[in-house]
Amino acid sequence: MATRQASQAINTQDITDKSRRDLLLLLEAVSLNSRHGPVTTFIDMLQVRGKKNLVIERSLASIIGLFVKFSTLQEYGVDKLFVLENHNVDSSQRNIVFLVRGENAKIVRTVAEQIRLVRSESKIDHDFTVIWVPRRTLVSNLILEEHGVLGEANITDLALQFVPLEPDVLSLELEDCFSDLILRRDPTPIFAAARALMLLQKQYGLFPRILGKGDNAKKLADLLQRMRSEEDVNASSDPTNTYLTSFGLTPSASIENLIIIDREVDFPTALATQLTYEGLLDEVFGVSHNQTEVDSSILGGAPAPQPQSHTGGPTAPAAAATKRKVQLDSSDELYPEIRDANFATIGPLLNRTAKRLQTDQQNIHKADQSISDLKSFVSKLPSYQAESASLKTHTSLAEEITKFTHSAPFRRTLEIEQNLLIGSEGSTTHEQLEELLARSTPLPTVLRLLCLESTLGNGLRPRDFEHFKRLLLQAYGYQHLSTLARLEKMGLFVAREANRGYLNPISGSAGQTATDWNAVRARLHLWIDEVEEAEPRDIAYVFSGYAPLSVRLVQAVLQKGYLLDLVNPPRAGAAGAAAVGTGANGSGWKGFEDVLARIKGATVDVVQKGRDAEASQARKTLRGNKEGPKTSLVFFLGGVTFAEIAALRLVGRQLEAAGGGRKLIIGTTGVISGGRAVDVAIEKGVFGA
């Protein structure tokens, strides 16, 4: 009975499989010219008749690449692949399929224009198919109608929501979610997140408890509640639905809670320089959809086995000669071991692997080997080769990163950053910042530091604020008036207001507008002096000292005992251990209400009960064991950084080690970094361009 492990609570592979299946079915349907009702079976036909050209939105192309190979698309009749933004769709095939996001009016308009263009220029009678991701929208209908192409195209949708980046990371991969939420205040990502989470709930049952921090987190939680009541009606008015679904949702047997962290609650963590290997890869080269692009000269002598079949996503053909794509995921032999390590320890880690591989190699050369030894070695040979190739790649990458981390500007910025995070006040920081400005350090670096100071201090003093603004405009150009205006709108770089701040932390008052960082820093122990980078015990290792607030909040729910011990070290050793054990039960924010009240944004704590008490009881009985569900889903609204992922993985490992099969899964709207966060605001135009 107990074969169903908690570790399979959310089967991310399922999500990948389903997305792939849905997409392929849609593509297949195009060649069939029909879409017969609810397609229930996975049709095993590989040879389908109609060839088609696939036009895909650039940002979707690499996402699709996460779960389906280009060769598979070809098997399903895809002849050529075009990127929508290039406006180069040709008319070589009768079937033209568009795969684009339907929620963006601009994209929809482009699709409509291209259909019109192809239709007017081509002599053959084309069959157009538009596959909207993740759903068909009213606005897309309206726009296609305005362009007179609504009747011309077969329209379907592909409910692509969560994409598993890794077995424990689910991402919506919404590229603009940070700017949508923070800059434009456009709640589209919240809705998308709610729909995706609803889908999980439909599959795994209601999240028994929803916790969260931040105003947007509150909106998301409210939306989830609302959708739940709407779901009742939807389920019954959908004719294809069988009566099983209409019993209504019951609390999940496998998921214990959902913890929503609103990015707005914790900007500093996003702005700080990530110091894990993966984080630095992102800082230096940029990582998107599990891939990074580096100069092939960096990889230098390393052979090119890396872009193997699994990178063969739709974007694979003919990457620019000078750039090479490197796949960064757990399909690699080595990467999973080193990705979350603090960069300081990467050298020894790589070294150890190199030594091991060397001994392996020496083993072959030993003369006296029995045939069975040889056989077992030969069977390991492929993985050995893959591992040594991967070692070469990562050594080259690490070397390049070392160049960066050893550079004087990097050390200078890191020093300022750490001082800010520790919370030491001082004019030296400002002097150092002024120097950075005068030395025309790259703008994003300077902005990150300024924003970091502003967010940690609820704004700069008005005099300093104006001073830095002036310096910035002089150093980088007056076009950055827009940049500054945007940062101010985002709340990243503001002047401190007299009436705002930590004067009035009425306990429990929702909608606190500012965070009292000093109190929070002390109360949640956001700075750890003794960080053991090699054998990390605390999440602070990811920033070499600073423990990200977002993850501390998660710990406030899941590792209460640990956190309390950290703040008030236990006198007797035994007491602490007991606290860890008991701290984990579903008591929400209990014990940390006062800190939460000092952090800006609303606090969410909702208990979801099933409509049908009997059914949930029955489920519990069927499950057999008395203990409650064990998996927690942490959802980042507005993006998560790799450093936070690494920190949460540490928390997850600690939970698992504590026994009871507890597990952590991370969900997010996308992956973000400080560079990308400020880049949203930066004005790209230049005078006289």
By beta-carbon proximity to other proteins, the closer residue of 75 and 293 is 75
Q: What is the pattern of x (binds other proteins, CB under 8 A) and - over residues 286-315?
A: ------------------------------
By beta-carbon proximity to other proteins, the closer residue of 349 and 606 is 606
Taking CB under 8 A as the criterion, which residues in 213-232 touch other proteins? 219, 223, 226, 229-230, 232
- At residue 29, the 3 state secondary structure works out as helix
Taking CB under 8 A as the criterion, which residues in 319-338 touch other proteins? none
Give the range of 183-191, 337-345, 356-364, 509-517 binding other proteins by CB under 8 A: 183-191
Task: Rounding to the nearest 10 degrees, give the CA dihedral for residues 390, 394, 397, 402.
Answer: -170
**647 Cβ contact list (under 8 Å, min separation 6):** 539, 541, 542, 547, 548, 551
Cα-atom radius of gyration of the chain, to the nearest Å? 27
d(CA 337, CA 313): 24
Pick the closest to residue 633 from 224, 208, 328 (CA basis).
208
Verify binding: residue 444, other proteins, rule CB under 8 A. no
- Select from 133, 194, 494, 678 the one that contacts other proteins (CB under 8 A): 194
Taking CB under 8 A as the criterion, which residues in 133-172 touch other proteins? 137-139, 142, 151, 154-155
Element (H, E) at 325: strand 323-327
By beta-carbon proximity to other proteins, the closer residue of 43 and 298 is 43
By beta-carbon proximity to other proteins, the closer residue of 20 and 184 is 184
Verify binding: residue 476, other proteins, rule CB under 8 A. yes
- Select from 466, 497, 594, 627 the one that contacts other proteins (CB under 8 A): 466
d(CA 273, CA 415): 11
By beta-carbon proximity to other proteins, the closer residue of 419 and 441 is 441
Pick the closest to residue 115 from 130, 102, 100, 93 (CA basis).
130
Q: What residue has token string 């070392």?
A: 402
What separation in angstroms does the CA of 348 have from each of 341, 342, 534, 659?
11, 11, 9, 30
CB 468 within 8 Å of CB 450? yes
How many residues touch other proteins under the rule CB under 8 A: the total is 76
Element (H, E) at 502: none
- Select from 57, 166, 168, 180 the one that contacts other proteins (CB under 8 A): 180
Pick the closest to residue 59 from 288, 317, 292, 327 (CA basis).
288
Taking CB under 8 A as the criterion, which residues in 480-539 touch other proteins? 481-482, 485
**Nearest distance from C-beta of residue 492 to other proteins, angstroms:** 16
Taking CB under 8 A as the criterion, which residues in 1-30 touch other proteins? 28
- Select from 293, 434, 593, 605 the one that contacts other proteins (CB under 8 A): 434
- Residue 245, amino acid: T
Verify binding: residue 613, other proteins, rule CB under 8 A. no
Pick the closest to residue 272 from 412, 451, 409 (CA basis).
451
**Nearest distance from C-beta of residue 506 to other proteins, angstroms:** 25
Verify binding: residue 191, other proteins, rule CB under 8 A. yes
Q: What residue has token string 């362009």?
A: 147
Taking CB under 8 A as the criterion, which residues in 237-276 touch other proteins? 237, 239, 242-243, 246, 248
φ/ψ of 592, rounded to 5, equals: -125, 15
CB 420 within 8 Å of CB 518? no
- Select from 415, 425, 435, 532 the one that contacts other proteins (CB under 8 A): 435
> What is the distance, to the nearest Å, from the Cα of residue 614 to the centroid of all Cα atoms in its chain?
37
By beta-carbon proximity to other proteins, the closer residue of 11 and 141 is 141
Verify binding: residue 364, other proteins, rule CB under 8 A. no
**Nearest distance from C-beta of residue 181 to other proteins, angstroms:** 10
Verify binding: residue 103, other proteins, rule CB under 8 A. yes
Taking CB under 8 A as the criterion, which residues in 48-77 touch other proteins? 48-50
**Nearest distance from C-beta of residue 479 to other proteins, angstroms:** 6
Q: What is the pattern of x (binds other proteins, CB under 8 A) and - over residues 392-431?
A: ----------------------------------------
CB 326 within 8 Å of CB 291? yes
Element (H, E) at 306: none
Give the range of 12-20, 189-197, 353-361, 398-406 binding other proteins by CB under 8 A: 189-197
By beta-carbon proximity to other proteins, the closer residue of 300 and 442 is 442
Pick the closest to residue 615 from 245, 276, 264 (CA basis).
245
Would you say the C-alpha torsion 275, 281, 286, 287 has a positive or negative sign?
negative
Phi-psi region of 555 (alpha: psi -120 to 50; beta: other; left: phi over 0): alpha
Which tokens sit at 659? 């026994």
- Select from 58, 185, 355, 375 the one that contacts other proteins (CB under 8 A): 185
Verify binding: residue 683, other proteins, rule CB under 8 A. yes
